[in-house]
Amino acid sequence: MNRQIKFFLGIIFLLFLYAASLSAQQNLTLPDASQHATVMQQIGFAEIKIDYHRPGVKGRQIWGALVPYNQVWRAGANQNTTISFSRDVIIAGKTVPAGIYGLHMIPTEKEWTIILSRDYRAWGSFFYNEGNDLTRFTTTPEASDFQEWLIYSFDEVTPNSTTASLKWDKLKIPFEIKIDLNKEVISDIKIQLTGLPGFFWQAWNQAANYCYVNTIDLEQGLKWVDRSISINKTPTNTFTKALILQDLGKTDEAVELKKDAFANATEPEINTLGYQLMNGGKIKDAIEVFKKNTELHPDSWNVWDSLAEAYMNNGENKLAIENFKKALGMAPDNQKERIKGMLVQLGS
């Protein structure tokens, strides 16, 4: 190849590079018209996250026009709207495994279809393939206050459920997400007990107490409390075992263990046990414990105060007043104003 041809080829190559450079320089990064947003909610141990882009109404007719009826819609703008779950959840009665899913919807004038697709990387719904569906379920839209920019939110949050809602224009599209909270907690407890907490009686007793308070897997709770007692027998885990045996119908064993627990317990230990039960929602059991403390330590103002609080939480105001008055007569000066306040609150 002679020198002249090499020269012209070099010129052509440089022109190609220059044209490519100009083309690259034209692709500026600018803000999206429909801006990116995320929203997250935790229920139990499960984190739920929706990742989406927010189109605006901008004076347009949305439903049945910009968003056609009876067609798969990306439930947002730009690339796929996605919904992710860090743990298994339950939607429309079906278990949805932990993972990331494309979130699509089929709007109609009445019921809408919600779709969770295994393909969450697609651009919007343009490459949607029904064969990738994990599940479909229906929901009924609700009238809502005007919302200019599409938004997702988590409403009506409870310890084991939440309602995810798309809101845009004058519609709200809700769907409920649930978890099996107790199943999740028990599963997580089993893992935690293989770690550092497993060396201490308190963790095994706490696990057993969870079973008792929530009335689940009592046989497992019995094994856990026995493990707690084998590490260090205390009035607390002895009483926990008594309560579990009581719920299992083994009344005679339960009665003997309760006697054993109270015989070796100090006033603070009994009081702490009562509050553990009360905070767990077992108020009648807490009252039993606090009453026993008043029998064993009748000269302590604190035992009467705790019993009064339990009665108050149980709606037994007359008994609460009676016991707060007993506590007031023995209480130190720095506690009297608080107890008087409780009496005023109870109308006494």
What local confidence, expressed as pLDDT, does residue 62 receive? 96
What residue has token string 């705790």? Answer: 306
Q: pLDDT tens digits, residue range 32-83?
A: 788 999 999 999 999 999 999 999 999 999 999 999 999 999 999 998 999 9
Question: What confidence tier does 28 reach under pLDDT thresholds 50, 70, 90?
Answer: confident
Q: CB-based burial of residue 146 (10 Å sphere; 0-12 exposed, 13-18 middle, 19+ buried)?
A: exposed
Cβ 234 vs Cβ 202: under 8 Å? no
Token readout for 217 is: 């897997």
Backbone angles phi, psi at 307, to 5 degrees: -65, -40
What are the backbone angles phi and psi of residue 112, rounded to the nearest 5°? Answer: -110, 150
Mean pLDDT of the residues in the chain: 91
pLDDT for position 4: 57
Question: Which pLDDT band, with edges at 50, 70 and 90, does 91 fall under?
Answer: very high
Looking from the CA of 288 toward its CB, the CA atoms found within 13 Å total 13
Best CA proximity match to 200, nearest among 224, 220, 217: 224
pLDDT one-digit tens code per residue, 64-74: 999 999 999 99
pLDDT class for 22, splitting at 50, 70, 90? very low
**74 and 166 in contact (C-beta within 8 Å)?**
no
H or E element in which residue 305 lies: helix 301-313
Query: In DSSP terms, which residues pair with 100 in a beta bridge?
Result: 84
pLDDT tops 90 at residue 11 = no
pLDDT for res 101: 98
How far CA 104 is from CA of 52, 90, 147, 281, in Å, comes to: 11, 18, 20, 41
Spatial separation of the C-alpha atoms in residues 149 and 137, rounded to whole Å: 25
Mean predicted confidence (pLDDT) in 212-224: 95
Q: Are 173 and 105 spatial neighbours (Cβ–Cβ below 8 Å)?
A: yes
pLDDT at 25: 54
Is the separation of the CB atoms in 2 and 9 below 8 Å? no
Domains of the chain, each with CATH number or no CATH: 35-179 (no CATH), 182-345 (1.25.40.10)
Alpha-carbon distance 302 to 308, whole Å? 10
pLDDT on residue 80:
92
d(CA 189, CA 172): 38
Residue 307: how many CB atoms within 10 A of its CB?
27
Residue 108 pLDDT class (50, 70, 90 cuts): very high
Indicate whether 346 pLDDT > 70: yes
List Cα–Cα distances, 42 to 91, 97, 103, 161, 285, in angstroms.
Answer: 15, 16, 19, 9, 31
Mean pLDDT of 308-327: 94
pTM as predicted: 0.73
Q: How far is the C-alpha of 305 from the C-alpha of 339, rounded, in Å? A: 8
- Assess contact for 253 and 245: CB atoms under 8 A: yes
Least confident of 13-27, 203-217, 305-319: 13-27
Residues 226-240: what's their mean pLDDT? Answer: 95
**Position 122 confidence tier, pLDDT thresholds 50, 70, 90:** confident
In this prediction, what percent of the chain has a pLDDT beyond 90?
Answer: 83
Residues 73 and 94: beta-carbon distance below 8 Å = no
The Cα–Cα gap between 249 and 293 comes to 25
Tens of pLDDT, residue by residue over 155-205, are 999 999 999 999 999 999 999 999 999 998 999 999 999 999 999 999 999
In what helix (H) or strand (E) does residue 150 lie, and over which residues does it extend? Answer: strand 142-158
pLDDT of 216 over the 80 cut: yes
Report the Cα–Cα distance between both ends of the chain, in Å, rounded.
111
Compare 237 and 125 and report the one with higher pLDDT.
237
CA 207 to chain centre: 19
Closest CA to 46 of 93, 6, 96, 80: 96
